[in-house]
């Protein structure tokens, strides 16, 4: 939604595009760090409590955004949105796992599929809804909408989700050790330095890569010996299948965001289409993703969807190679439909794979790391596009990205074909 309001925010606060773009990047940064952190907190305090706390933070973020007197305070609101919404996915995965285990169910495929479908529905609804609200009520309405949504989520959770077990009483020193604050700080340092580095590969700040590597080494050492680590590196080191799931998630996000953002820029600059037309061309992507996610999740398929996700990506990129500044709309819709297959196939299957590859005690933090991996791919896509396009989105740059996407699709296929740990079906008991 925020993409439709950047110009209005810049005009009101007399800020340029670079400053208002920070409203997008700050949410990525805080979300990437907060996702596994919220998963850790849910282990200590209970997923329902942490979910409700995240919703309360989202409510506060909406109020701060509505009342923001300047861009700095608006940045605070976006940071709070990143933190608050970060509580949702890892705690939801933990709550679903708890309920499924209590009921003696294996992988609740339709429930996990609903997570993917919800994301696609918001993508379809969010943009036109935001354009309507910002046009009639102003950009502050886009922050105000968080308030009723947070209240609804809070009430539904109180009424519909079973309470957590009582929190185990601990001394203050013991609680701080269990929280692993040094681990959280080191992880934040690694993620922030890496994301900032990836966001500007056209003019790389290599010192940030060095900082990320050094902090990453310290993080591994600390987490190896921590009493209650944020990230169980010993488990992760032994769990090759989970590592490959994270890698597939990074590649899928990198490919999907690169394709969507590059296609929209290219269609506007090379084909001369307006933003509304581009939006209509991209809508089928979300619809096909919804349909595929429903079919795949309903049948619990895991292995073949991951293979087909890479194949569909390569085919979509092959269509990209056939396009130029005079291409027709039908060819462009075909390209986006193939990309929608990639999104629909990979989103559920990677979630199901993670569900199978982790225990109930690990799933909250592991799910948070899955989202962090997606943010790495999303941030990397902006730099990849910048390198390929340069000052303008040309046919040559678009075709260069197509070859990169073909390579990513091939890697995704190989990662699954030779990974015998990925089951054909997420079995239900």
| Sequence ranges of the domains in the chain | 1-163, 181-226, 231-429
Model confidence at 26: pLDDT above 90: no
Q: What is the pLDDT of residue 81?
A: 96
Options 1.20.1250.20, 3.30.56.10, 3.40.50.2300, 3.40.980.10; CATH of 1-163: 1.20.1250.20
Global pTM value: 0.87
* 176 strand-pairing partners: none
Mean pLDDT of 182-209: 89
The rounded distance, in Å, linking the Cα atoms of 318 and 355 is: 33
Percent over 90 (pLDDT), the chain: 55
Mean pLDDT of 94-119: 87
**Model confidence pLDDT, tens digit, residues 43-98:** 999 999 999 999 999 999 999 999 999 999 999 999 999 999 999 999 999 999 99
- Check for a shared fold between 1-163 and 231-429: yes
Burial of 264 (0-12, 13-18, 19+ CB in 10 A): middle
As given in the structure block, the two tokens for residue 120 are 């696609």
**Model confidence pLDDT, tens digit, residues 317-364:** 999 999 998 888 899 999 999 998 998 899 889 999 999 999 999 999
DSSP per-residue letters across 156-184: HHHHHSPPPPPPPP--HHHHHHHHTHHHH
Question: What fold is seen in the domain 231-429?
Answer: Growth Hormone; Chain: A; (1.20.1250)
Contact (CB, 8 A) for 192 and 77: no
Range list of β-strands (E), 7-80: none
Burial of 247 (0-12, 13-18, 19+ CB in 10 A): middle
Read off the DSSP letter of residue 4: G
Longest CA span, the chain = 69
Question: Strand, coil or helix: what is 302?
Answer: coil
Instruction: Report in angstroms the alpha-carbon separations of 272 from 254, 277, 326.
Output: 26, 10, 10
Model confidence at 386: pLDDT above 90: no
Question: Strand, coil or helix: what is 425?
Answer: strand
Quick one: CA dihedral 311, 332, 24, 117, positive or negative? Answer: negative
CB atoms within 10 A of CB 169: 7
Question: What is the H or E stretch that residue 222 is in?
Answer: helix 206-225
Rg (CA), the chain: 21
Q: Which residues contact 357 (CB under 8 A, 6 or more apart)?
A: 239, 241, 242, 245, 366, 421
DSSP per-residue letters across 334-388: HHHHHHHHHHHHHHHHHHHHHHHHS-TTTHHHHHHHHHHHHHHHHHHHHHHHHHH
Model confidence at 202: pLDDT above 50: yes
Residue with tokens 């991209």: 282
* 425 strand-pairing partners: 301
Mean pLDDT of 2-25: 79
Q: What is the pLDDT of residue 67?
A: 96
Phi-psi map region of 117: left, alpha, beta (phi>0 left; psi -120 to 50 alpha): alpha
Mean pLDDT of 22-37: 88
Q: What is the pLDDT of residue 173?
A: 62
The rounded distance, in Å, linking the Cα atoms of 36 and 176 is: 17
Question: Strand, coil or helix: what is 262?
Answer: helix
**Model confidence pLDDT, tens digit, residues 118-154:** 877 776 677 667 767 777 788 899 999 999 999 999 9
């Amino acid at each position: 939604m925020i993409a439709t309001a950047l110009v209005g925010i810049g005009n009101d606060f007399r800020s340029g595009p670079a400053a208002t773009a920070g409203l997008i990047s700050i949410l990525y940064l805080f979300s990437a760090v907060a996702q596994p952190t919220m998963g850790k907190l849910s282990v200590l305090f209970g997923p329902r409590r942490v979910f409700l706390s995240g919703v309360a933070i989202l409510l506060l973020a909406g109020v701060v955004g509505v009342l923001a007197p300047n861009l700095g305070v608006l940045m605070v609101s976006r940071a709070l949105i990143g933190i608050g919404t970060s509580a949702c996915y890892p705690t939801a995965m933990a709550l679903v796992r708890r309920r499924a285990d209590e009921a003696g169910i294996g992988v609740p495929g339709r429930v996990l599929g609903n997570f993917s479908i919800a994301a696609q529905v918001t993508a379809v609804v969010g943009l036109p809804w935001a354009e309507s609200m910002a046009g009639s009520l102003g950009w502050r309405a886009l922050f105000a909408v968080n308030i009723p949504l947070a209240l609804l989520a809070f009430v539904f959770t109180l009424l519909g989700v079973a309470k957590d077990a009582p929190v185990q009483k601990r001394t203050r020193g013991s609680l701080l050790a269990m929280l692993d604050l040094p681990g959280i700080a080191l992880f934040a340092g690694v993620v922030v330095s890496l994301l900032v580095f990836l966001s500007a590969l056209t003019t790389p700040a290599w010192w940030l890569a060095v900082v990320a590597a050094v902090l990453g080494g310290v993080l591994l050492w600390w987490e190896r010996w921590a009493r209650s680590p944020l990230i169980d590196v010993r488990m992760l080191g032994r769990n090759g299948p989970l590592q490959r799931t994270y890698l597939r998630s990074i590649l899928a996000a990198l490919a999907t965001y690169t394709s969507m953002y590059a296609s929209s820029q290219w269609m506007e600059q090379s084909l001369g289409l307006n933003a509304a037309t581009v939006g209509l061309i991209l809508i089928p992507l979300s619809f096909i993703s919804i349909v595929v996610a429903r079919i795949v999740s309903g049948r619990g398929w895991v292995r073949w969807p991951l293979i087909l996700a890479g194949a569909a990506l390569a085919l979509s990129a092959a269509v990209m190679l056939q396009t130029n500044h005079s291409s027709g709309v039908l060819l462009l819709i075909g390209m986006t439909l193939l990309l929608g297959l990639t999104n629909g196939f990979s989103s559920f299957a990677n979630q199901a794979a993670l569900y199978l590859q982790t225990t109930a005690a690990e799933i909250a933090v592991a799910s948070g790391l899955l989202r962090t991996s997606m943010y790495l791919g999303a941030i990397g896509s902006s730099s990849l596009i910048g390198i390929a396009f340069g000052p303008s989105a040309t046919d040559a740059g678009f075709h260069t990205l197509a070859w990169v996407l073909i390579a990513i699709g091939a890697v995704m296929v190989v990662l699954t074909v030779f990974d015998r740990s990925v089951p054909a079906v997420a079995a239900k008991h």
